[in-house]
Structure 1
Amino acid sequence: MEKRDRGEMDTAPSEPLHSHIKLLKTNRELLVTHIRSTQCLVDNLLENEYFSAEDAEIVGACPTQPDKVRKILDLVQSKGEEVSEFLLLVLQRLEDAYVDLRPWLVEIGFSPSKLIQSKTVVNTDPVSRYIQKLRHQLGRDSKFILCYSQKEEVLLEEVYTDTIMELVSFSNESLGSPGSLARLLDHSTGVLNEQGETIFVSGDAGVGKSMLLQRLQSLWAAGQLDARLKFSFHFRCRMFSCFKEGAMLSLQDLLFKHCCYPEQDPEEVFAFLVRFPHTALFTFDGLDELHSDFDLSRVPDTSSPWEPAHPLVLLANLLSGVLLKGATKLLTARTGIEIPRQLLRKKVLLRGFSRSHLRAYAKRMFPDRATRDRLLDQLEANPNLCSLCAVPLFCWIIFRCFQHFHGAFDSSPELPDCTVTLTDVFLLVTEVHLNRTQPTSLVQRNTQSQTEALRGGLATLRALGQLARWGMERELFVFSQEEVQAAALQEADLQLGFLRAVPEPGLGEDQLSYEFFHTTLQAFFTAFSLVVDAKVGTRALLRFFQEWPPGEAAVEACSAPFFPFPCLGARGPAGDNPFRNKDHIQFTNLFLCGLLSKAKQKLLRHLVPAAALRRKRKALWAHLFASLRTYLKNLPRTRSGGFNQVQAMPTFIWMLRCIYETQSEKVGQLAAKGICANYLKLTYCNAYSADCSALSFVLHHFRKRLALDLDNNNLNDYGVRELQPCFSCLTVIRLSVNQVTDSGVKVLYEELTKYKILTYLGLYNNQITDVGAGYIASILDECKGLTHLKLGKNQITSEGGKCLALAVKNSKSIFEIGMWGNQIGDEGAKAFAEALRNHPSLTNLSLASNGISTEGGKSLAQALHWNTSLRIFWLTQNDLDDEVAESMAEMLKVNQTLKHLWLIQNQITAKGVAQLADALQKNTGIMEICLNGNLMKPEETGGFEGEKRLVLS
């Protein structure tokens, strides 16, 4: 047999130079070693009538896989050149089936003839068939979005709209947008840790995390993601809570039994996956919904793909890379959840809809232009409602309610034109759902009021509330059929669309489970139940407010942004709850405040005895007052820059939201009175535009002047509009990294120039163009006390630069200008040079990374001959050369007041550095000239070691 495997050239007839028979013979050992899918070869030979049924039987009778390969090669060679060439074609075409032979096929340069190219090649390889089955299943499962009821579905492709997606650092500092979902999986952008295995996507409830994963699955199924990703497995994290502590499962069973089972040879498919893990994409949705008492510290890690382990152990080891290292893993969770840094490859924040996203979404939801324009006009007229639409879930609810009224009533539906709270929105969607049961008529429209709708559906609402509250108290979001029946819900109730049926893998049952269409809806019905249930006393009413412990502010202020997850192997303090995100509970509190507000008394008095309603309102307000007073008292305070600064936390945002839901001026006044500081810092609180409504609701009661820092949130233009009521008291406004565009800047101009008290304006890293730069220049012209202006990393070019420079020239108060990362170029630089000449107050100026070259640099240097105010000048990352260095050297012989000059990462050589070094002999004022990153060779730096003020590395 060994002699035969090598091939016996002396017994073979004479063969042509490029004989395919000869190729098979001389490479027999290679083929026997690497061909595994023999049935696929037999199927193709049968399909093209190169093999008879008898040939196939002969191959099938061979006892081992290598023997089958040898028999196939013998039979093929015996049938001649054409059949041998066809065999090579099959090996070439079916790359996944014969992956180990790719290098060899490239090496021999196999190129089939036209005759062979025309032959049919069928792919019956187990791996390929499984991939096809996976694509079909995920394509089917991700094609539709389940909407109002289980009977109503819409195509994902027709309504999906991208949201703001931002790559961030470990500390949530922006690293820019990935640009597309496909780029999200790209290994070249946003990588924080090369050894990390998991792409972590977080965002608030309703911001579109699950929808993003569904879109990814759809793209993969359609072959529109990286071609190297051949497998895709999707899990909801909550399924891992369903396994008992003693459950043991192999990775193969987890993937195949709970995702998609191979039709043939599962061992071969799994072996391929284990061998090529980089071909797999895993998505795990909702880490915050994983609730388990299982302690991973009591069990060892499992590094063997075949060894059974508890499913949570498998999950932890998949995310860490102990299992299937190199696979692409994407994990989602609500804001506030963190995972150990060593697991992280990328970190992504979802920010919801911007103004342009909202319009794109409206176009998809309302193809009819007249209807769409009417909707958008109504939204523009109601900034409060529009700001709620920044959250995709709330936007969808509002749009679907608009659609319902449009279809059920007439062609001119009206959205509410007054102040709208989130409670109003959920009451509206409840009304719409209940009205679906009403008979419709072509000649008579349903005129049932909201009160009548709620009263008529009270039995259903009570049952839904009972189920929601039972689950919320236990932090359960999926309900069995028995639990649904125990809440007295009828089949007709299930068809209303509040609940949807979901298959829940991991339960070992074929029957369906149920969940509310979103956790926020479960929170709403929980609050509704607490209000309308006469048996609910004060203690039960307020149980979810225990998430606001008095000392939380201090704890939050001193803790690092890492919340341990014992289920992922991290170790935390004893008794520490790893599931720190409690948005579902916070939403319950918010809806409770909304339902018990004075404005809802008229609506609820038909559902709840007036005395019970008064008692519950009194208890809630007393607790809210006490919680707010204690929280504000415990917020950390610092003295900085003449301000008494208070550092608020995300819990403060939730308190503001609850206060806003009450629509009580008394509560708003109390909150404003309790701030007791003149600098309110709310950075990195994940505040949305709708939160600006709540912030303004409180701050318009603040009678003193105030500094407001909202950097690194998600406010956008609608948030700026919602801040209008409190602009009259703001002296400092920081809105950096907030997706603000020219439209928002226009609002700032219109409001700030009314009061003219502004001293600091921070708009770094937004989306401001030359149009917005014109508005900012006008603010600088009219606000005579403005000292600090931060405009870096926007989209300002030379036109905007010239406009701003003129305003700077005319300002007698401006102290610091930050323009890093724009593109003002040489023309803008010349304008700033003119502004610098003899300026009385400008002390710090950054024109770094602005495309400034020789002419602009020389103009700036010449202007500094006449300037005595500037102390710090940043010109990093431009195109400044030796000519500019020479001009700067000449300037330094005259200007003795400039202290810091940064020329990092330009085009200056040793010649320019020498000129600057010479100039320092006549300058005693300059403290440093930073020149690292220029065109200096290492051996050239030695000549300047004596001048310590030159920083060369």
Structure 2
Amino acid sequence: MELTNAVNETKGNISHLEDLFNDTGVINEDAETVFITGDAGVGKTILLQRLQNLWSKGELCADAKFFFKFRCRIFNSFEEDKISLRDLLFKYNCYPDKDADEIFSYILQHPASVLFTLDGFDEINVDCDLNDIPEISSPFDPTHPVALLMNLLHGNLLKNSRKLLTARIGTELPLRMVRKRVTLKGFSKDHLLQYLKKFFKNKPHQASVLTQLEANPHLCSLCSVPLFCWIIFKCYEHFQSTCSSQQLLDYVTLSDVYLLMLEVFINHSSKAALNKRNKSQNETFRTKREALMRLGKLAKEGIENSNFIFNQEQITAADISEEDLQLGFVKSIGHYDGCGNQSTYEFLHLTLQSFFAAFSLVVDDKISAKELIKFFTGHVPPGKPQRMLISLFPHQSLKGPSKENLLQCREHFQLTIFFLCGLLSKTKIDLLNHLTCQTKVQKKRSALKSYLVGCVKTYMVNDFYQMCAVPRFKWLLRYIFEVQSKEVAKLAAKRICKDCINFTYCNVYSADCSAITFMLRYLQKTIVLELDNNNINDYGVKELIPCFSKLRTIRLNANQITDDGVQVLTEELRKYKIVQSLGLYKNQITDIGAQYVSTLIAECSSLIKLAIGYNKITTEGGKMLAQAVRKSKTIKHLWMWGNRIGDEGAVAFAEALRNHPSLRELSLAANHISTEGGKHLASALEDNSSLKTLWLTANEMDDEATRCFADVLKVNRSLQTLWLVENNITLLGANDLIAALREISSMQEICLKNNKISIEEATALKAEQRIVF
């Protein structure tokens, strides 16, 4: 989990769940809602369940006496047009075993004792505009359910209570309502290994699964999403329990994995499967075709109407039998309605509902190719004009997604299109021919490919640079990869007219690197690829291997990359020697990884810029990097801030600086460098004529080091900017620098902010404008 600010910049990790409620990372002091976002399957619901579990044991928020949990989709299905806060709590959430009025009175007097969790804000589907919703402050007045929810989130109702709200990436909540923003990032490599050991207790099984995963980087990449990891592990578990020799190595796309999950569920629920373990996938699906079609029809109608909860009448109307339910894809859920329990149902997960909807669109002979395309380009649910929440879902069209805004539609549509692409890929033709008319499958496949070609032409030509910096371009690449069409991928590569593809802050997972590579491998030129602040990790680096020969700049800052990923990265970049700029800031690189990077610096004459700050590099790693810089005649910019190289590392960099022909910028900020290290760096500047900027912010240097820099400035005429922010410099050191500046004109700025210089002392020294206090 990562804290993000109002403009989506990462502000650090959350290691303990109680940190969700403290003051770290607060955006708006007056707001009360912690807004948690993440892609489908990344673990939002599991997080809230974990919080409830801890609260029930008294291990979370000791002052929270009441815990109310809601699925936001319930606000679509209230029988009443209007409800009050009291009804919401005690009619649709729990039945107190004591007097409800007495408990409600206590809650109103002590709102800080209440904790709400509200899951799936993106699943709200109403026919009103939130801009027209009035403010409600009375807990007894009935109002529209969504109006009640919004006033609760805003703090108009039950002010000072705590709320945790989850939603999928791309859903917006007005900042005035947001106290904190948190992004769920999924599994890193270490998390995956921990989960592997938790899931498979048997060590031989652990070793077997890990070996197979390592042999298929894309499967590893999919495992960065916890839901997909669970599905893959359940499939492995099934194969182990049936002593089957079947492997997952041949399964490439997520659609392949979901088809495999369906096969495992069907076989697991069928007694006949015990005697037919070698039954083919085609035969398995053919025997259960009608049941799968009934579930698919239900899923499709739900996707069309943004409906994710089904009552008993809807289940009966869809002719879904108890045997169909026993397959395990649809589960019964508890539902309070004030009159006892009523049977309601939902798919195991939204992604599964989207998969079944896609399955229905492909296999149903009554749906033509034209109708299939119309499903996601112009569908408006009958009788429901869908005046959607424009202020909250700006990406939602009032008329349904069109050819121009296909990739901006809500995620359940995007997922359905995604699985549609997977099911209509060439590798699924044999399976589909056993389930439906071969001619119609070919027509649907051709229509989908033609439509994707149209999307590529539209987006690549008209708005490519802006498009590639937003998530909808990520979805386009996902579709192209899932349909496994080289023709469309080549066209997309051919249409790239800009020199930079920017995926910064797009919530790109390691599995998405497969889609990126699928297109970039067909490029005929070199390009800049920016992937900062995502969740690439080591498996994503492996997935990018086929396109490193195309990249002159690769930015992988803040992506949970470890030494293993760095080893793969540097080995590939050394093969081609075309990389000019490499970003590895804020990862998990140690001295081992620093050694790999050092080899790249020394051997790759094209490398000009390197950012490797905020990692776990100590003195030894610092020495290796400094030695590599000393050998390089081309490196110009090196940013090492936020490591721990200490004075010994600083001495090594001082030696690298002496007579260096090209280095123009060097940052050793926040590296535990004391006066001793500072003195060596200052001394090295006497023999350097290339360095323009030196950052030494947040170290431990005092006036003695400052005096050395003042002396060298009288000799060095190349240095223009020197940052000594957050050190131990006093007025004495500042005066030494001012005296040196009187003798030189080449120096443009020396920054001494946040040192041991008072406001009065700084004011008295304002005459020298090149000193910034």
Matched, 1:416 2:252: no
* Deviation of the 1:678 alpha carbon: 2.5
Residue 752 (structure 1) aligns with: 573
Choose the corresponding residue for 1:474, options 305, 313, 326.
305
Change (3 A) 1:740 1:299: closer
Q: Is the 8 A contact 1:339 1:565 kept in 2?
A: no
Change (3 A) 1:283 1:413: farther
* Deviation of the 1:345 alpha carbon: 0.7
* Deviation of the 1:923 alpha carbon: 1.4
Paired amino acid for 1:211? I
Residue 448 (structure 1) aligns with: 279
* Deviation of the 1:581 alpha carbon: 5.9
Q: Is the 8 A contact 2:722 2:751 kept in 1?
A: yes
**What are structure 1's unaligned runs of at least 5 residues?**
1-164, 549-562, 639-645
Residue 912 (structure 1) aligns with: 733
- Separation (CA, whole Å) in 1 of partners of 2:580 and 2:294: 56
Matched, 1:597 2:425: yes
Paired amino acid for 1:707? V
Paired amino acid for 2:141? E
| Aligned pairs (5 A) from 1:182-193 | 182-185=18-21, 187-193=22-28
* Deviation of the 1:827 alpha carbon: 1.1
Q: Deviations over 1:85-106 (max 9, x none)?
A: xxxxxxxxxxxxxxxxxxxxxx
Q: Which moved more, 1:385-394 or 1:534-543?
A: 534-543
- Separation (CA, whole Å) in 2 of partners of 1:359 and 1:299: 48
Residue 227 (structure 1) aligns with: 62
Secondary structure in 1 matching 2:184: strand
- Separation (CA, whole Å) in 2 of partners of 1:749 and 1:612: 48
Residue 632 (structure 1) aligns with: 460
* Deviation of the 1:822 alpha carbon: 1.1
Paired amino acid for 1:381? A
* Deviation of the 1:668 alpha carbon: 1.7
Residue 694 (structure 2) aligns with: 873
Q: Which moved more, 1:941-950 or 1:575-584?
A: 575-584
- Separation (CA, whole Å) in 2 of partners of 1:547 and 1:297: 26
Choose the corresponding residue for 1:175, options 11, 36, 50.
11
Residue 267 (structure 2) aligns with: 435
Paired amino acid for 1:651? R
Paired amino acid for 1:938? I
Residue 829 (structure 1) aligns with: 650
| Aligned pairs (5 A) from 1:339-358 | 339-358=173-192
Matched, 1:458 2:289: yes
* Deviation of the 1:648 alpha carbon: 3.7
What is the TM-score when the length of structure 2 is the normalising length?
0.95
Choose the corresponding residue for 1:527, options 354, 358, 366.
358
Q: Deviations over 1:617-651 (max 9, x none)?
A: 1111111111111111122549xxxxxxx844211
Matched, 1:374 2:208: yes
* Deviation of the 1:516 alpha carbon: 0.8
- Separation (CA, whole Å) in 1 of partners of 2:330 and 2:394: 37
* Deviation of the 1:696 alpha carbon: 0.8
- Separation (CA, whole Å) in 2 of partners of 1:617 and 1:745: 40
Residue 517 (structure 1) aligns with: 348
Q: Is the 8 A contact 1:733 1:760 kept in 2?
A: yes
Q: Is the 8 A contact 2:397 2:409 kept in 1?
A: no
* Deviation of the 1:866 alpha carbon: 1.0
| Aligned pairs (5 A) from 1:228-267 | 228-243=63-78, 247-267=81-101
Paired amino acid for 1:403? E
Matched, 1:778 2:599: yes
Residue 404 (structure 2) aligns with: none
* Deviation of the 1:279 alpha carbon: 1.4
Change (3 A) 1:364 1:349: same
Q: Deviations over 1:282-302 (max 9, x none)?
A: 000000011111345555312
Change (3 A) 1:600 1:507: farther
- Separation (CA, whole Å) in 2 of partners of 1:836 and 1:460: 72
Q: Is the 8 A contact 1:235 1:284 kept in 2?
A: yes
Residue 333 (structure 1) aligns with: 167
Secondary structure in 1 matching 2:345: strand
Secondary structure in 2 matching 1:841: coil
- Separation (CA, whole Å) in 2 of partners of 1:451 and 1:564: 41
* Deviation of the 1:939 alpha carbon: 1.8
Q: Deviations over 1:466-489 (max 9, x none)?
A: 111111111111111121122221
- Separation (CA, whole Å) in 2 of partners of 1:693 and 1:875: 39
* Deviation of the 1:537 alpha carbon: 1.5
Choose the corresponding residue for 1:922, options 743, 756, 767.
743
| Aligned pairs (5 A) from 1:443-592 | 446-505=277-336, 510-546=341-377, 565=389, 575=398, 582-592=410-420
Change (3 A) 1:507 1:805: farther
- Separation (CA, whole Å) in 2 of partners of 1:918 and 1:311: 70
* Deviation of the 1:400 alpha carbon: 0.8
Secondary structure in 2 matching 1:199: strand
* Deviation of the 1:438 alpha carbon: 3.1
| Aligned pairs (5 A) from 1:546-945 | 546=377, 565=389, 575=398, 582-637=410-465, 647-945=468-766
- Separation (CA, whole Å) in 2 of partners of 1:813 and 1:366: 50
- Separation (CA, whole Å) in 2 of partners of 1:599 and 1:297: 48
- Separation (CA, whole Å) in 1 of partners of 2:337 and 2:497: 52
Query: How many equivalent pairs are there?
Result: 761
**What are structure 2's unaligned runs of at least 5 residues?**
380-386, 402-406
* Deviation of the 1:801 alpha carbon: 0.7
Change (3 A) 1:698 1:236: same
Change (3 A) 1:754 1:574: closer
Alignment RMSD (CA, Å): 2.2
Residue 157 (structure 2) aligns with: 323
Q: Is the 8 A contact 1:438 1:446 kept in 2?
A: no
Paired amino acid for 2:42? V
Change (3 A) 1:297 1:676: closer
- Separation (CA, whole Å) in 1 of partners of 2:185 and 2:595: 28
Change (3 A) 1:388 1:416: same
* Deviation of the 1:249 alpha carbon: 2.5
Q: Is the 8 A contact 2:128 2:389 kept in 1?
A: no
Change (3 A) 1:575 1:446: closer
Paired amino acid for 2:613? G
What is the TM-score when the length of structure 1 is the normalising length?
0.77
* Deviation of the 1:413 alpha carbon: 4.9
- Separation (CA, whole Å) in 2 of partners of 1:804 and 1:351: 30
* Deviation of the 1:860 alpha carbon: 0.6
Residue 121 (structure 1) aligns with: none
Q: Which moved more, 1:707-716 or 1:280-289?
A: 707-716
Higher RCO (CA-CA < 8 Å; seq separation 6+): 2
* Deviation of the 1:716 alpha carbon: 0.7
Secondary structure in 2 matching 1:865: helix
* Deviation of the 1:572 alpha carbon: 11
Change (3 A) 1:439 1:636: closer
The percent identity for this pair of structures is: 50
Matched, 1:387 2:235: no
Q: Deviations over 1:478-513 (max 9, x none)?
A: 111121122221110101101001123459673211
Q: Is the 8 A contact 1:166 1:177 kept in 2?
A: yes
Change (3 A) 1:315 1:282: same
Matched, 1:210 2:7: no
